[in-house]
Structure 1
């Protein structure tokens, strides 16, 4: 009995030391967790290509992993650089056009529109704000247009800083990806060895992590690309810089509930107020029927494999993920929900007799 207690005590000491050291390791890698997680997820997406290369060069694992990383770089970085340059060019042209429109009296004409006059009158009558005058609005817009150039310089500097940070994270991710692809079998084997689960339970858990990781990336990012592309076409046909506003709609699609409406509703109102009624109607119909249907159809279709989660659970996993983790939460949220559901299923199976007894008692 004493020997048994001694063994149990030593086990608990070992577990406590392991938890403490694991937490210390987590603190060391915490600044780089997102890059590591993205490398893991991209390794799942890249593995078919990597596996094909590995069959062609079976004795050159390092070379195959390096080729996979190079292919990924060409797939992601080069198109991003081309799109970024076009966005900067179109954004600059749009800002200059806006400045000319404001300084040449366009804002005053807009404020004289009957609907704007009625809206201001309603706001001044019923809303608990200080009185809003058209002259004050025109003055504020004029000040903004005057400072637009300096604002663009600061925004460009921030974008450049963000781009530099993105490249650093990207190359760190590539570094991790190289080893994940090269040592894939060893890593999976080590995870299986450590997990205190049966082989079937391990298969179910690992398969679900792989499936949900893929579906989260495909569901969120491919939907954003599709909505940005469709929205950019609609904005271009309506007379706006298509690539610039299409990209903005792609980013807006990540925002739950509001989504791309954050872009196309103001654009539709603007077109209507300046007299382009037909184009305003077209943009509204296009955005609802085409851009909106992409989000309603494509995202659930791509994420339907997320551990049997229904639309409501997917919605809250995305919303909560963004709230807690930022943009990367679009992946973390569904992944946490899916792992939890798989663990609940395993719990239900292992404690089936106890749970059945509880139900019948």
Structure 2
């Protein structure tokens, strides 16, 4: 048998062993791989100055701190406000979703105005039925939210374990990057310069994804929290964190947080504060998203923002939350594959 074919078969066998070992942890593997691509240049600089084991120790310590510091800050700053928000929602559910007196007054004014419309009397029964249906569904949603919060708090050990696995696998990928490189060359049979360009394309794509999606979400969460603080919203840090989480959701994003808060402030009697929250959300928070996200994503992935937008939506539908990373990465790989195909074809034509 041809030695090259034997080498390729054995390389495929090695990759298959790793796939079988980690096939149930696909999301963790994707996340760890993205972190490895992002941090490999840092590990290379460490490896030039220190021994391999000392470099690995520093790398793991820095990676752990990168995750631990934000978690500690969120726990210290946001947890007390999160508890208050949790208690407020729980009390509201226990009271049967009772509206504030000011909100009831607004609704009564609306009904008085509607009573003057001919034929509205016939619609009152159906309106009451719709209102009851909305209240029941909202109650179920809030109960689910509260139950999910308890489950989330109770699954901290599992979350910590997953975080440990992500850090460990990212370090493993970085340490054995050269071995992975050799396997990629043997399995694909591509020239090394092609593999190098694929790696550069992946590094740029992952950097753009983390900046364009997660860093922009962080900025939007901070801006939302600042806006809430300025306009006197209670537990501004907690709602800013909620906005940070919602910011990665396409189309709706942080509006899922600041719009209901603005409505709540408005029915509470603070019209100008509510207007300020809406304007802050549209101009400052959404403006940062509209400017920063396309700039960061297109800087590392050579395609239009519309293509990236639909790639993210489709990948979220297909793969879940990890699609935020996987969708743009697949687009970058596809574009690079087309470019390498053209390069190899031109090279073959030139040799002929």
**TM bracket (short chain):** 0.7 to 0.9
Matches of 1:89 and 1:328 in 2, distance apart? 29
User: How far off is 1:211 after superposition?
Assistant: 1.0
Partner in structure 2 of residue 62 of structure 1: 53
Asked if 1:94 corresponds to 2:85, the answer is yes
Asked if 1:253 corresponds to 2:244, the answer is no
Asked if 1:293 corresponds to 2:287, the answer is yes
User: How far off is 1:86 after superposition?
Assistant: 3.6
Secondary structure (helix, strand or coil) at the match of 2:298 reads coil
Residues 198/97 of structure 1: CA separation in 2 closer, same or farther (3 Å cut): closer
2:167 pairs with one of 169, 174, 198: 174
Paired residues of 1:120 and 1:132 also in contact (CA < 8 A) = no
Partner in structure 1 of residue 43 of structure 2: 50
Provide structure 2 residue ranges, at least 5 long, that are not aligned to the other structure.
none
Paired residues of 2:11 and 2:183 also in contact (CA < 8 A) = no
Paired residues of 1:69 and 1:177 also in contact (CA < 8 A) = no
Q: What RMSD over aligned residues (CA atoms) do the two structures have, in Å?
A: 4.0
Provide structure 1 residue ranges, at least 5 long, that are not aligned to the other structure.
1-6, 356-361
Residues 353/302 of structure 1: CA separation in 2 closer, same or farther (3 Å cut): closer
Deviations 1:292-311 (A, max 9, x none): 01111111111123431101
User: How far off is 1:348 after superposition?
Assistant: 3.1
Asked if 1:84 corresponds to 2:80, the answer is no
User: How far off is 1:281 after superposition?
Assistant: 1.1
Partner in structure 2 of residue 358 of structure 1: none
Secondary structure (helix, strand or coil) at the match of 2:74 reads helix
Partner in structure 2 of residue 203 of structure 1: 196
Matches of 2:122 and 2:300 in 1, distance apart? 47
Asked if 1:327 corresponds to 2:338, the answer is no
User: How far off is 1:286 after superposition?
Assistant: 0.7
Paired residues of 1:208 and 1:339 also in contact (CA < 8 A) = yes
Q: 1:1-361 counterparts in 2 under 5 A?
A: 26-57=19-50, 60-97=51-88, 106-114=99-107, 117=111, 130-132=126-128, 152=146, 154-238=147-231, 239-351=233-345
Secondary structure (helix, strand or coil) at the match of 1:213 reads helix
Partner in structure 2 of residue 4 of structure 1: none
Matches of 2:227 and 2:176 in 1, distance apart? 46
Residues 348/220 of structure 1: CA separation in 2 closer, same or farther (3 Å cut): same
User: How far off is 1:94 after superposition?
Assistant: 2.7
User: How far off is 1:129 after superposition?
Assistant: 9.2
Residues 251/118 of structure 1: CA separation in 2 closer, same or farther (3 Å cut): farther
Paired residues of 1:110 and 1:273 also in contact (CA < 8 A) = yes
User: How far off is 1:275 after superposition?
Assistant: 1.6
Secondary structure (helix, strand or coil) at the match of 2:128 reads coil
Paired residues of 1:111 and 1:117 also in contact (CA < 8 A) = no
Query: For this pair of structures, how many residues does the alignment match?
Result: 341
Deviations 1:208-251 (A, max 9, x none): 11111121122111011011110111122222311111111111
Secondary structure (helix, strand or coil) at the match of 1:63 reads helix
Deviates most, 131-140 or 318-327: 131-140
Normalised to the residue count of structure 1, the TM-score between the two structures is 0.79
Deviations 1:258-306 (A, max 9, x none): 1111111111122222220110111011111110011111111111234
User: How far off is 1:100 after superposition?
Assistant: 6.5
Matches of 1:52 and 1:19 in 2, distance apart? 31
User: How far off is 1:155 after superposition?
Assistant: 3.5
Paired residues of 2:246 and 2:254 also in contact (CA < 8 A) = yes
Secondary structure (helix, strand or coil) at the match of 2:253 reads coil
Between 1 and 2, higher relative CO (CA 8 Å, sep ≥ 6) is seen in 2
User: How far off is 1:108 after superposition?
Assistant: 4.3
Matches of 1:100 and 1:161 in 2, distance apart? 21
Matches of 2:339 and 2:172 in 1, distance apart? 32
User: How far off is 1:331 after superposition?
Assistant: 0.8
